[in-house]
Amino acid sequence: MRALLDFIAKYHHWMLFVVLEVVSLVLLFQFNHYQHSLWLTATTETVSKAHEAEASVLRYLTLGRENAALTRRNLILEYNLAEATRQIEILSHDSTGTERLQADRMEGIELIPVKVVTNSVMRRDNLITISAGAADGVRQEMGVVCGTGLVGIVFLTSEHFSIVLPLLNSRSHISCRLRGSDYFGHLVWDGINPLYAQLDDIPRHARFNIGDIVETSGFSSVFPPGIFVGKVEAIGNSDDGLSYKLRVHLATDFTALQDVSVIAQQFQPEVRELEHQADSMLAH
């Protein structure tokens, strides 16, 4: 208390000066119209900027949820577009029939939005870690996609995390086809450029062009048919010359992956169990 009194005694003239300045400013802005207008304008602008900054922070904090929602929406739109393209000639006279078909194709498919924790693109056998595991309904051999296309297949799971085997891995072989046709092959990566992959085993009698769309074939329980993979950029021959090898420009930018979705199909566990039983029987 003694120190406080000494401080006040020492600086009382400065305190009095500040009080008088505050009183004079209040009187100035309160009873003079011009100065009052300037004060309101300045405070309004300051408050508005503060609110704008607050809104920007809130938008940034909710960006993850928005990206996850966009990823799901983009995938559904791409999937529906592929199916509509294949069926438009048959159902062009009945738009409600097209809508029913699209709804039927998406029935039993759930998308689990997750975050990419770690990612690599410079190795021969790249891996991706995602922020969901068994506790979130993620299981081995589930497909993984993003808003622009295919990503890979779940390889290992723990309680809260999973490892994904992406397209950019030498062990990845995914059945894909040329959109609008029945010609299919296996998509593989040559370990060189993360922007491209090869579609092997396309038969010699197949007819296609540069720029044709490559999509999942649906010939497995991992991916439904019609998920966008990329576009044909170049045409070559297989090593034995008996089939075509297509260079595919991938739609997924693996260097910028942040939000992906795991595809949970209703009957996938039953189908996989049946396939594993068949493999075991044939191995004996």
Which amino acid appears at position 61 of this protein? L
d(CA 42, CA 243): 74
Closest to 109 measured CA to CA, from 79, 133, 88, 81: 79
Joined together, the tokens standing for residue 83 give 């199916």
pLDDT in tens, the chain (284 residues): 666 667 666 766 677 777 777 766 666 656 665 555 555 555 544 544 554 565 455 455 555 555 656 665 666 666 566 656 656 555 555 545 444 444 445 556 788 999 999 999 988 899 999 999 999 999 999 999 988 889 999 999 999 999 999 999 999 999 999 988 888 999 999 999 999 999 999 999 888 899 999 999 888 878 888 889 999 999 999 888 889 999 999 999 999 898 899 998 766 666 666 666 766 777 76
Structural domains in the chain plus CATH codes: 2-61 (no CATH), 66-277 (2.40.10.350)
pTM metric for this prediction: 0.64
Check the CA dihedral 168-172-177-179 and report its sign: negative
**How many of the other CB atoms lie within 10 Å of CB of 275?**
13
Short-list 260, 115, 235, 138, CA closest to 185: 235
Q: What is the pLDDT of residue 198?
A: 95
Residue at 48: amino acid letter: S
Packing angle between helix 33-61 and helix 2-31, nearest 10 degrees? Answer: 110
Q: Which residue blocks in 32-117 are alpha helix, DSSP H?
A: 33-61, 63-91, 95-106
In angstroms and rounded to an integer, the radius of gyration of the C-alpha atoms of the chain is 31
Cα distance between residue 118 and residue 164, in whole Å: 10
Long-range CB contact pairs, 268-274, < 8 A, 24+: 268/141, 268/142, 268/221, 268/222, 269/139, 271/221, 272/141, 272/221
Give the residues across from 176 on adjacent strands: 185, 216
Q: How far is CA 280 from CA 172, 194, 270, 275, in A?
A: 22, 35, 16, 9
